[in-house]
């Protein structure tokens, strides 16, 4: 056999030998790692125990948070919008000039109501109207037996109703509405189902009674807010239309204007006799009996896992540092 014929066989054997040596090396490295971990098992156990104890202490010290939620459905507005929509094609131009929305476009009223609830202005008005700033910004614990809230003495003095916060400028002792809005945004959730149109409003708080009350107030206030907006718009439109009637003597135009005024009167009447103007309550909010968070068991498990992982990493890093030195 010639030398050229022996060369391929030699290359194959050499490659196989290298692959076997690589596998053996990997096995040795894995055995070495397991041996290092086993040797440092007590250090790993200590680190894991420390993290476990800390996670337990942390979980125990976290106050219970309760969630109250209400399920709402968009109110049927066909009674008020049907007549206006019928006039869209015929009187759309004149109505637009009067600032009247006759339907057939624009933002959905339910979606608009949701965005209004999320707005800074509505939230600020809600906090000030119901005087909930202390419960929002200074509540510390809730007494289940007496159903009372205790406040952080470093933030708020209950007896004097005085804020004691020590903050740097431009902040003041009493939280601003911007600060209150940020805090309120953390505890409120508003979700709308695309398929059904149902809307869920939920509030989280230390006190289940407070969470329940705030949800009810939110539903009442948003219905009133949207109703007041529509009534104000209809009133302004009616005033404009009346002024136009006084300025024209054309019978046909006056007839059109009177019909538009009639529809605005229907809008006002419909709003005045209906409390659930935008949202109908399907499932009202209840005072929750069980906490929604914190999940203390999960916190303990995650703390223990984190401790064990950090313990293993520390042992391996220490070993390789010593090995290089």
Task: Report helix angle 109-118 to 208-247, nearest 10.
Answer: 120
| CA 211 – CA 286 distance, rounded (Å) | 9
| Matching residue, tokens 């006084």 | 246
Contact criterion met (CB below 8 Å) for 74 and 110: yes
CA atoms in the 13 A half-sphere facing the CB of 316: 12
Judge residue 154's burial from the number of C-beta atoms within 10 Å of its C-beta, 0-12 exposed, 13-18 middle, 19 or more buried: exposed
Separation CA 206–CA 77 (nearest Å): 37
Can you give the pLDDT at residue 54?
93
Quote the pLDDT of residue 83: 45
pLDDT < 50: residue spans in the chain: 1, 3, 6, 10, 12, 23, 25-26, 28, 78-90, 98-106
Question: By C-alpha distance, which of 3, 76, 60, 41 is closest to 278?
Answer: 76
What's the CA gap between 278 and 109, in Å, rounded? 7
CA distances from 49 to 38, 98, 311 (A): 17, 73, 10
Cα distance between residue 114 and residue 189, in whole Å: 11
Rounded CA-CA distance 163/125 in Å is 20
Return d(Cα 97, Cα 71) in angstroms, integer. 38
Closest CA to 289 of 19, 67, 41: 67
Three-class SS of the chain: CCHHHHHHHHHHHHHHHHHHHHHHHHHHHHHHHHHHHHHCHHHHHHHHHHHHHHHHHHHHHCCCEEEEEEEEEECCCHHHHHHHHHCHHHHHHHHHHCCCCCCCCCCCHHHHHHHHHHCHHHHHHHHHHHCCHHHHHCEEEEECCCCEEEECCCCEECCCCEECCCCCCCCCCCCCHHHHHHHHHHHEEEEECCCCCCEEEEEEECCHHHHHHHHHHHHHHHHHHHHHHHHHHHHHHHHHHHHHHHHCCCHHHHHHHHHHHHHHHHHHHHHHCCCCCCEEEEECCCCCCCCCECCHHHHHHHHHHHHHHHHHHHHHHHHHHHHHC
């Amino acid at each position: 056999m010639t030398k050229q014929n022996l060369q391929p066989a030699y290359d194959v054997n050499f490659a196989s030998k290298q692959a076997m040596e690589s596998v053996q090396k990997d096995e040795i490295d894995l055995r070495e790692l397991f041996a290092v971990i086993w040797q440092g098992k007590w250090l790993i156990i200590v680190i894991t125990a420390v993290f476990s104890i800390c996670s337990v202490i942390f979980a125990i010290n976290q106050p219970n948070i309760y969630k109250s939620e209400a399920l709402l459905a968009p109110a049927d507005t066909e009674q008020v919008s049907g007549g206006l929509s019928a006039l869209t094609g015929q009187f759309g131009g004149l109505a637009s000039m009067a600032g009247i929305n006759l339907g057939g476009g624009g933002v959905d009223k339910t979606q608009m109501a949701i965005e209004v609830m999320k707005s800074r202005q509505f939230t600020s008005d809600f906090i000030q109207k119901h005087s909930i700033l202390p419960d929002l910004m200074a509540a510390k614990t809730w007494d289940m037996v007496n159903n009372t809230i205790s406040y952080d003495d470093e933030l708020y003095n209950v007896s004097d109703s005085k804020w004691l916060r020590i903050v740097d400028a431009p902040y003041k002792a009493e939280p601003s509405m911007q600060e209150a809005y940020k805090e309120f945004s953390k505890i409120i959730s508003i979700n709308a189902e695309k398929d059904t149109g149902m809307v869920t409003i939920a509030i989280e708080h230390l006190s289940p009674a407070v969470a329940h009350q705030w949800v009810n107030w939110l539903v009442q206030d948003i219905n009133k807010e949207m109703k007041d907006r529509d009534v104000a718009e209809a009133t302004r439109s009616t005033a404009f239309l009346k002024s136009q009637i006084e300025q024209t003597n054309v019978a046909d135009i006056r007839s059109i204007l009177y019909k538009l005024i009639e529809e605005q009167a229907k809008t006002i009447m419909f709003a005045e006799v209906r409390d659930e103007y935008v949202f109908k309550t399907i499932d009202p909010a209840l005072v929750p009996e069980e906490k929604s968070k914190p999940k203390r068991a999960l916190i303990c498990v995650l703390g223990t896992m984190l401790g064990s992982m950090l313990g293993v990493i520390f042992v391996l890093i220490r070993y390789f540092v010593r090995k290089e030195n």
